[in-house]
Amino acid sequence: MALASTNHVTNLASAELPAPRAILFDLDGTLVDTAPDLANATNALRRFHGQPPLPFEQIRREVSNGGSALVTLAIGLTSDAEGHAEARQYLLDAYEQAVATHSQVFKPLDTWLAGWQGEQKPWGIVTNKPRRYTLPLLEALALSPGALLCADDLSVKKPEPEPLWEAARRLSIDPAHCWYIGDHRRDIEAAKAAGMTAIAVGYGYISEQDDYRRWPADIWFDTCEALVERLATF
């Protein structure tokens, strides 16, 4: 459960954190607010099955858990149930048709990123979202990361560290000099395994049962504003 905003909480003094030479982001719920479009796709599946729409906030909390979790939320079919695969494809097809209708980079992260890109500083995205849905989203938002690793690019994905290592390699930056920012425990586990500074954010898609401050991060930010305030010092 995301706690009320204070500023940020650290287990290292902020000044002791290594200054990043590259910033890597998770995508959904960390860099881009994709929940509105994914919620619309989820409720399209509900309508197809004759069900009324679910509240946006209820869907938002499940977005980081992927399409299968959204199917379970929408119509109660678990991943091993008959009909789940077909329902998941219906949801994903609906999402693909409107992948960037309402999605946008979180504010004020959008302004900071424009400046970071303008200075040609290295940054990247490591996501468990398939490339099929990631590329049109990034194109619509005019985002051009120096490194992009999607769910289907390697044989493994987060929480394994290999995608983060590959992103750092493509940026020609040692992993120890990268910050990885995410809104899910697997993001933090991947960052720690990769030897990167692990940054947890509480403004993302976090379930009510989850306390993101219990994740093994190096630093936690309650709000996007607090994250940007720290990033702006580099």
Write out the residue range of the structural domain in which residue 76 sits. 35-96
CATH number of the domain bearing residue 109: 3.40.50.1000
Compute the distance between CA of residue 43 and CA of residue 197 in angstroms, rounded to an integer: 37
For 58-88, how does the pLDDT look when each residue is reduced to its tens digit (9 = 90+)? 999 999 888 999 999 999 999 999 999 999 9
User: How do beta strands 8-10 and 147-149 pair?
Assistant: unpaired
Q: Which tens digits make up the pLDDT trace of 89-134?
A: 999 999 999 999 999 999 999 999 999 999 999 999 999 999 999 9
CA dist., res. 148 & res. 33, Å (int): 18
* 64 and 25 both lie in a single domain: no
One domain, residues 64 and 143: no
Residues 83 and 125 in one domain: no
Q: Are residues 129 and 164 in the same domain?
A: yes
pLDDT value at residue 18: 85
Residue 15: the pLDDT is 56
Work out the average pLDDT over 171-195: 98
Candidates 28, 37, 153, 222; catalytic one: 28
Q: Quick one: 29 and 40 in the same domain?
A: no
Tens digits of residue pLDDT in 192-216 = 999 999 999 999 999 888 999 999 9
DSSP β-bridge partners for residue 221: 8, 201
Q: According to the model, what pLDDT value does residue 64 have?
A: 86
147 and 216 in a single domain? The answer is yes
Q: What is the pLDDT of residues 16-68, one digit of tens each?
A: 788 999 999 999 999 999 999 999 999 999 999 999 999 999 999 999 888 99
| Model pLDDT, residue 199 | 98
Lowest mean pLDDT segment, chosen from 10-14, 44-48, 222-226: 10-14
Residue 199, helix vs strand vs coil: strand
Whole-number Å distance between alpha carbons of 30 and 124: 13
Q: 3-state class of 14 per DSSP?
A: helix
Sole residue written with tokens 């309508």: 47
What is the number of structural domains in the chain? 2
Which one from 26, 37, 183, 218 is the annotated catalytic residue?
26
pTM of the entire predicted model: 0.91
The closest alpha carbon to 37, from 92, 110, 95, 97, belongs to 95
Note the residue count of the chain.
234
Active site (annotated) includes residue 218: no
Give the type of residue at 35: A
pLDDT of res. 170: 98
Predicted confidence (pLDDT) at residue 11 exceeds the cutoff of 80: no
- Looking at per-residue confidence, does 137 or 8 come out higher? 137
Report the chain's C-alpha Rg in angstroms.
17
Mean pLDDT of 131-155: 97
Query: Residue 141 and residue 178: Cα distance in Å, rounded?
Result: 24
Phi, psi of 56 (to 5 degrees): -55, -45
Q: Where are the alpha helices (DSSP H) in the chain?
A: 35-48, 56-60, 67-75, 84-96, 109-118, 131-140, 162-171, 185-194, 224-231
28 is catalytic: yes
